[in-house]
Structure 1
Amino acid sequence: MSDIHRSLLVQPVPMLGVGMRMMQLGFDELQAALGLQAKRVERDRAAVQHACDALLDARTYDMGTFVNTWQALTREYFAASAALFEQSQDLAMRNQTALGALFRDAVLDFEKVCVRAQAQASPQAGAVPQAADWMTYLGRFAGVHPNGEAAPAKSASGPTSANA
């Protein structure tokens, strides 16, 4: 039941190109993730530096300075964490968009190849049932008529009489 003639050479979908684009997306994502990792390390380094400053202020028994330094540390840490979270969300959206575009292009390329192959194929007489009769053709196997009514059951032993 093949619509494509066997002698027809079908041009394959450029899977190498899809694979290369997927690898490039992976490398771009890795580079961006490593960049976010470096920013996270810098955020933590700055927090440790502020904590050390706060502890040095605590040694002088100036609790007001210690509290102010600790509050600044916490505020900056949470602000940096929120900014990193927003950047990671933006990165995830860009990667999903790029991957979706990649899959869409692959499907469209495959569709073009199929349409081209189908247009070049010569119809084979009698190979497949006519499209208008497909419900009737399949109905014989499913036991239903095209209008949805059940086909009468046929007895394997022949007709029987209720009076016999």
Structure 2
Amino acid sequence: VTFSTLLVALFVCCGPVSTESEGTYEALDPCPVPRPGVLVGGLIGSGDDALVTPTRVLVLMGGGGEDDLASRRFVESAGGGDIVILRASGSLTSYPSYFTATLAPQPVPETVVTLLTVIPQEGADPAVLCWVNRAEAVWLAGGDQWDYLGLWPPELHTGLSKVSERGGAVGGTSAGAVAL
């Protein structure tokens, strides 16, 4: 293992990743429509809330492109549950496609969606908090560290902590990794 490999992907796991999804799915009331300043897009899957048991994992990337092995480990740690990508700039569709079609994880996530906080202070929007609270895994995309650390409100940071506390997967790349 070289130092540059360590810069590409670091993941810390607290148990094996199960490749069998034993969960159920519940059609809850949908998350509310976000206020201006938040975009929801790239939705792949049902949007129903998956009731599965994820595996706690932390994946941090930087210093190059995504590492497919570490990314697949992150996605599979969701246990077939729901994955939310948070970002303050960039594409609504790139990560949902990458996490499902490109990586071909087993089990396949029930839902993958991107939440783009065009106005970072809107991270406390009830729609954002609803999606994060239902997620088995949350990924923070790269971007401007200040958007995540200086402008996202405390409610969103608390929501991210709760994902990990309940055994979910969290990860990020570049600025997203630093924010974790």
> What TM-score does the superposition give when structure 2 sets the normalisation length?
0.18
Structure ranking higher in strand proportion = 2
Structure ranking higher in helix proportion = 1
Structure with more contact order per residue of length (Cα contacts < 8 Å, sep ≥ 6) = 1
**Higher alpha-carbon Rg:** 1
> What TM-score does the superposition give when structure 1 sets the normalisation length?
0.19
